[in-house]
Amino acid sequence: MTNNALTPGIAAGRLDQASYAENFADLHPPLDDHEALVAADRCYFCHDAPCITACPTDIDIPLFIRQIATGTPEAAAQTILNQNILGGMCARVCPTETLCEEACVREAAEGKPVLIGQLQRYATDTVMAQGVHPFERAAPTGKSVAVVGAGPAGLSCAHRLAMRGHDVTLYDGHAKPGGLNEFGIATYKSVDDFAAREVDWLMQIGGITLEAGKALGDGLALDQLRSEFDAVFLGIGLGGVNALGVEGADKDGVLDAVDFIADLRQAVDVATLPIGRDVVVIGGGMTAVDAAVQAKLLGALNVSLVYRRGRDRMNASEFEQDLAASKGVRIITNASPKAVHGNGAVREIEFEYTDNDLNPTGETVRLAADQVFKAIGQTLTGDDLPDLDGRKISVTGAGRTSVAGVWAGGDCAAGGDDLTVTAVAEGRDAAEDIHASLIS
């Protein structure tokens, strides 16, 4: 995983194979036919459904659930995929508990929403298992578009543009496409190489040429792309990681959580990944929870997740926080990192307690640690980018940037919620705006 694999206290193979298989099994096993019908039967099929409003991709949720209830999951999948071409992955990783399911009338009345996410997975998995792509390309327009970044926003944009008849070249700095879905999601949320299989299925639309191993500043320049293509979409995500910024942060064993998760996602056998006995994760978002939970599942004895604010301010949902706690992760709040201690390699990390306004209280605590994972946010990287709004690309309308002929969406663009489903919506909407501008 890293050059710290031989540090004392860090080891691979802490558990037996049966434990690894159980720990990294599907977090939410798929519904069978009967379970799907029972779950669909709970929907009220609201005329003015609040769940639709809560969905960033505006899926007609009551319609697709009714289609499942009437025994036509293929039609349900079409309803979903018309709005969200990555509906299969979103069904697995979306925080539905704070989106559509939180808005569900059943949730308000009974505290038990319709299983919207699992029903969406049931429908989309049904169609993907048939191996047939339900969309066809329009007649060729003769226009070409460069899409930089093969994550959720870029894939969504590329598919919609190809469907409209444009020729798309899809670039990505990694050796394989998928972005966050491939490299940044907890392994137990997307098993059986689903992210890669979904990309292969999406590419069946045709008209998309993948160029892997190329990124802005590394084989690509924005001006060159603008001269070679009729339009450019930037879905480059956030490639940098914020620095910890405390004394000793450069010691061995202080690692980026995103790299840890990516290593897990790409591992043929998770048992080969070294993990410490005492692991500390710094952060309060989904990445922090994913790293902490997976460290515990790999066999770490003690895992602490430390966040500088209160639990109510954590970006990770209450469901994710409870999941971490259920796996044995200790959650410590209102504590900011102060220093990393150790002789060459981390042995302890010191925190200072803060009040709700992040003012230090003067009280400190040291936690034993042979691995520290930073999950304190990512930053935009790249040269010659369009104008920024703060630390992200400034956009107006459906992703238009300050540079003519260049659109942006997903995590690299200002606004949005830094969610897979939001990135899909932004890529889709930018594609429609690009299409309108190319044919006008």
Look-up of token digits 């190489």 = 193
Length of the chain: 440
- Confidence (pLDDT) at 192: 95
Cα gap 394→69, rounded to integer Å: 43
Alpha helices in 87-148 (DSSP H): 87-93, 100-103, 105-110, 116-130
- Confidence (pLDDT) at 384: 87
95 torsion bin: left (phi>0), alpha (psi -120 to 50), beta (else) = beta
Q: Which two structure tokens, joined as six digits, stand for 259?
A: 């790299």
This prediction's pTM: 0.95
Cα gap 23→17, rounded to integer Å: 10
Burial of 136: CB neighbours in 10 Å, binned 0-12, 13-18, 19+: exposed
Mean pLDDT by 10 residues, the chain (440 residues): 59 96 96 98 95 97 98 98 98 95 96 98 97 95 98 98 98 96 96 97 98 92 97 95 95 96 96 97 97 98 97 94 97 98 96 94 97 96 91 96 98 90 98 97
Closest CA to 9 of 263, 274, 351, 264: 274
The answer to whether 310 touches 88, Cβ cutoff 8 Å, is no
Cα gap 356→308, rounded to integer Å: 9
Closest CA to 189 of 420, 319, 25, 329: 25
- Confidence (pLDDT) at 418: 84
Domains belonging to the chain, first-starting first, are 33-130 (1.10.1060.10), 144-239+380-439 (3.50.50.60), 241-377 (3.50.50.60)
- Confidence (pLDDT) at 239: 87
Look-up of token digits 């894939």 = 155
3-state secondary structure at position 145:
strand
The answer to whether 407 touches 233, Cβ cutoff 8 Å, is yes
- pLDDT tens across 130-168, in order? 988 999 999 999 999 999 999 999 999 999 999 999 999
